[in-house]
A = this chain, B = another copy of it.
Amino acid sequence: MLALSLDMGGTHIGCAVVRDRAILASSSLASEGAGSLASLLPTIEQELRRLLAESHASASECEGLAMGLPSVVDVRTGQIHSNFKKYEDATQLDLAGWCRTTFGVPLRMENDARMALLGEQYAGAAQGFGNVVMITLGTGIGGAAMILGRLLRGAHAQAACLGGHLPINFQGRPCICGGIGCAEAEAGGWSIPGIVREWPGFAESALARLPHINFYSLFTAAADGDRVAIEVRQRCLEVWAADAVALVNAYDPEIVVMGGGVMNSASVIIPFVQDHVTKHAWGAWGKPQVRAAALGNRAALLGAVPLLEEVL
């Protein structure tokens, strides 16, 4: 199957033409500074047409366009349910109409972590497994679950895609979602700078001399022996591991796939989370494997074909 695929990220939009498990052509558009999604649609159209030409394919050969969004999205109705701060007009646009008019194909929209799970299950780390939990560690923490071969979506499309918003610290930090002590508030990309700056001894840490604190600088400083970085990294690992246990106990998977940019430190993260899950999660049948995502930022793009093939 040939398909168009878009991954609407916070700072970049991934664009691709895919055939089954292969990306024929892809690119990344900077989206920062764009006031609205409507203003970006002509650029997206132009880019997808360029990628189709590069793939020696035409839109009419595509089965559809799959779009991943960092949002609660109901693929069954085509509605975007939650605030999508990056593009506040997204909930108002007739994107299906735009897609039909522009490319002559149907549109399916889905939460980006669900798309990434589909991609990893179809072509990546979770191939062969029908019961999968996906955790994406980024600015936020995304989640998705597949049970008996089907994505879990729930009545209002918010089941299983809020894996970063399970409270794992009930008297903990306020979350941007309005929750308290969500995994994302305790160890998501956006919460790390605040946590590091409040840490005892921060002023003496190498991190205090950096203009930006993020997962990369945290893990780098920890590898260099910085005490504060080591302690905060340890706390992140414990939060992620607790979140993994919560998701295992909630959804009963055979495999947990962890993705996101910080997984360039997979050699630190995966053994810790695997050990924690093996020791602390339920599983009379056995304990789930914990694996790093195999597809990097291509996972959601490669979710296009299974999403378009799904009988909803």
Contact = CB atoms under 8 A, between A and B. Distances in A.
Given A72-B284, A166-B250, A238-B170, A155 B181 contact: no
A249 B82 CA distance: 13
Interface-centre pick from A147, A155, A177 (highest chain B CB count, 10 A): A155
Contacts of A156: 252, 283-285
Given A250-B166, A284-B82, A155 B130 contact: yes
Contact of A246 (B82, B158, B246): B246
Nearest to A129: B155
B282 A158 contact: yes
A279 interface: yes
**How many of these chains are in the complex?**
2
A159 interface: yes
Interface string A161-193: 010011111110000011111000010000000
Contacts of A246: 166-167, 246
Contacts of A283: 156, 158
A72 B167 CA distance: 24
Interface string A257-301: 000000000000000000000011111110000000000000000
A280 B165 CA distance: 10
B254 A162 contact: no
A252 B154 contact: yes
A116 interface: no
B155 A242 contact: no
B280 A180 contact: yes
Contacts of A83: 284
Interface string A93-126: 0000000000000000000000000000000000
Given A170-B242, A254-B155, A280 B249 contact: no
Nearest to A175: B280
A5 interface: no
Interface string A27-63: 0000000000000000000000000000000000000
Interface of A: 72, 81-83, 130-131, 147-148, 152-160, 162, 165-171, 177-181, 186, 238-239, 241-242, 245-246, 249-254, 279-285
